[in-house]
Amino acid sequence: MARKRKAGDGTVRQRKDGRWEGRIVIGYDDNGYPKTKNVLAKTKKECVEKLRKLKEACGGLKPEKVRPEMPFGDWLEYWYENHSKPKIRPTTQETYESRIRLHIVPEIGDIPLNKLTQNDLQQFYGRLKKNGRKRFTEQYGEGLSDRMVRMCHATCRSALEKAVQDGLIRVNPAIGCKLPPKKAREMQVLTREELQRFLIQAQAEGYYELFLLDLATGLRRGELMALQWDDLNFRTGVLNVNKQVYDVRGELQISAPKTKNSIRKIVLPPAVVEVLREYKKTVDSRWMFPSPVKEDCPLTPGVVRRRLQLILEHAECKHVRFHDLRHTFATLALENGMDVKTLSAMLGHVSAATTLDIYTHITDDMRRAAAANIDRGIGKATPQEDASAPGQEPAPATPKKPRMTDFKPYVGRKRKPGTGCVTEINDHLFEGRYSPKWPDGKKHSRNVYAHTREECEEKLKQLIVEMKAEIAEAQRLKDLGEGNGAPPEGKVVSRILRKLVCRLWNE
C-alpha cells in the first residue's frame, strides 16, 4: 500500500507522458472550491523538491479550507475580506479592521468556530468593558465604551450569521448575548444668543459663509465640503447635494453619498443666496469652500472641525460637534413650524421615522402646543386658562424674542507683513510658510515643519533670511541679464513633497 502524504503537502503523480506533476492547494474561492498551482519534472525526486519550493514561495503555510473546526479568527478574516469589505467605504473599513485586529482576534480568535459559545462571547464583552482599551487609558480609563462593545458584538454576530448560512455551524451563539444599554449621545444645540455670537465670530475669522450655509441647510460635514459652484443655481436658489468628501489616511476622496436619500435638492433662503453671491466674487475656484494651501482642493473635514472649536471658544459658546450644527438647524426648523416630512427630506434621512426618533423631544413639545391650540379653539379656553398647577404662574403665550447681542468678536494677534504664517496641521505638526514675490513677478512659497509652534517660528525666521538673500541674488542676476528672476531650480518645495512630509510626520 502506497504511503499517504500528509495533509497540506500537496500531491505528486506521474503523468501519461512520463513526467511527474506536483500540485498544491493555495486557497479557496467564495464557493469553497480549491485554487491550485502545479510543477512538472522529469523525476519524482525533482518534482518533490520543486513542490517544496513552490510551497515556500506561497508562504510556507498549510492552506486551510473553510470548515467548521477552523479558528474563529481565520473565519472572521475570511468573512471580512470576501463578504464585508467589498460593500463598505474605506473609512468604515478602517474601523472594522481596527476592531478585528485590536480586540476580537487577540481575545477569541483561537477558539474553533464550531466550539465558540455564547458564554465565550459574554465573557469577552465583559473583559472589553472592564479593561479592553489599548490606548488613551489615562484620559478615558481602562474599559471600552458601551458603544464600542456593541460594535464588536455586531461584527461577531454578522460573521457568525454568515457561518450559519454556509452550514458551518447550526446556531449563531451571538444571538441572545446581554449587551450594555444603547445610550444616545446627548444632543447639543446652540441657543439663539449663542448663534448670534458664533456667526459674528465666524465672520471675523473668514468662515461666515461656510457656517451660515450649514446652519441654513443642516448639511453633513462631508457634503458641505464637497459643494461646487455648479451645484448652486443662483436664479432659483436650488442647491444640489450629490457628493461628499472624506479623509482616508490623509488623502481626500470624493464619492456619492451613502444612501440615495442623501442625494437631494434644497431650496436656500433668498438672504443666504445673496450672501453666497457676494462671496463667490472673492473665490477663484470651482469649489465653494476651497483649501487656502492646496490648489483645486476643498477644505479638509479635519481643518473645519478644528476651526469650529476655535470659533466656539472665541465666541464664548459651549463646545459642540460639527454634527450638532445639523441638530441646531433641525431643532430651529421644528420649533418654527416646519413639518417633519419636509425636514426629513432636507436632512437626507431614509424616512421621517428616523427624524422623529432623533428629535422626539422637540416633537413632544409640538404635540403639547398643538393640544393647547385645539383646546383654545374647541373648548374656548384662553391662554391664561391652560393647564397650570394651582399656585404656579401660567406659561407665557409666546416666547420672548432674543435680544440683539452686543458681542464684540475676538481678534487674534495679527502677524506683521513679511513674517510668513504658521498653521497648525494637526495636534503634533505645525507648518510655517513664506510666500514672497520674486523678481519674476510671481509668488513662490516654501515651507518648514516642526512639532511645536515655537520651533516652527524659529525655523520660519531662518527660512525668511535665506529666501531674502536668494531674492536679492536673483534680482542682481536679472539686472545683469544672467537670469529671469525666478528662484533657483530645485529649491521650491513641491506640493508632492509637502504631502510626503505631512504623511511622514503623521506616522
d(CA 117, CA 125): 13
At residue 421, what is the residue type? C
Query: Given this model, what pLDDT does residue 380 score?
Result: 53
Q: Which strands sit side by side in the sheet containing 429-434, from one edge to the other?
A: 421-426, 429-434, 446-450
How many other CB atoms sit within 10 Å of the CB of residue 295?
8
Query: Given this model, what pLDDT does residue 32 score?
Result: 52
Supply the DSSP string of 324-369, one letter for each residue: HHHHHHHHHHHHTT--HHHHHHHHT-SSHHHHHHHTHHHHHHHHHH
Query: Given this model, what pLDDT does residue 186 score?
Result: 74
In the numeric block, the cell 510658510 is attached to 433
Q: Spell out the long-range contacts of 450-455 with Cβ–Cβ below 8 A and sequence spacing 24 or more.
A: 453/422, 453/424, 455/430
Alpha helices in 395-490 (DSSP H): 453-480
Q: Give the phi and the psi of residue 437 in degrees, each rounded to 5.
A: -90, 125
Query: Given this model, what pLDDT does residue 217 score?
Result: 94
In sequence order, the β-bridge partners of residue 20 are: 14, 41
Query: Given this model, what pLDDT does residue 164 score?
Result: 92
In sequence order, the β-bridge partners of residue 71 are: 112
Query: Given this model, what pLDDT does residue 99 score?
Result: 92
In sequence order, the β-bridge partners of residue 435 are: none
Tell me the helices (H) and strands (E) count for the chain, helix number first.
Answer: 18, 11
Q: How many CA atoms lie within 13 A of 244 on its CB side?
A: 20
Q: Spell out the long-range contacts of 116-124 with Cβ–Cβ below 8 A and sequence spacing 24 or more.
A: 116/72, 116/160, 116/173, 117/173, 118/173, 118/174, 118/176, 118/177, 120/173, 121/153, 121/156, 121/173, 121/174, 121/177, 122/177, 122/178, 124/152
Query: Given this model, what pLDDT does residue 405 score?
Result: 72
Average pLDDT per consecutive 10 residues, the chain (507 residues; last block may be shorter): 53 85 72 72 90 74 68 91 85 88 92 94 94 83 91 95 91 93 80 92 93 95 94 95 85 84 93 95 92 86 90 92 92 87 90 84 68 65 47 48 70 75 77 86 86 89 91 86 65 46 49
Query: Given this model, what pLDDT does residue 224 score?
Result: 95
Query: Given this model, what pLDDT does residue 413 score?
Result: 66
Query: Given this model, what pLDDT does residue 139 score?
Result: 76
Distances (CA, A) of 486 to 348, 364, 439, 461: 51, 67, 7, 21
Query: Given this model, what pLDDT does residue 23 score?
Result: 84
d(CA 496, CA 99): 32
- CA 381 from chain centre, in angstroms, equals 52
Q: Give the phi and the psi of residue 52 in degrees, each rounded to 5.
A: -65, -45
Query: Given this model, what pLDDT does residue 428 score?
Result: 75
Query: Given this model, what pLDDT does residue 445 score?
Result: 84
368 is written with which cell numbers? 403639547
Alpha helices in 166-299 (DSSP H): 192-204, 208-217, 221-225, 270-280
In the numeric block, the cell 541679464 is attached to 481
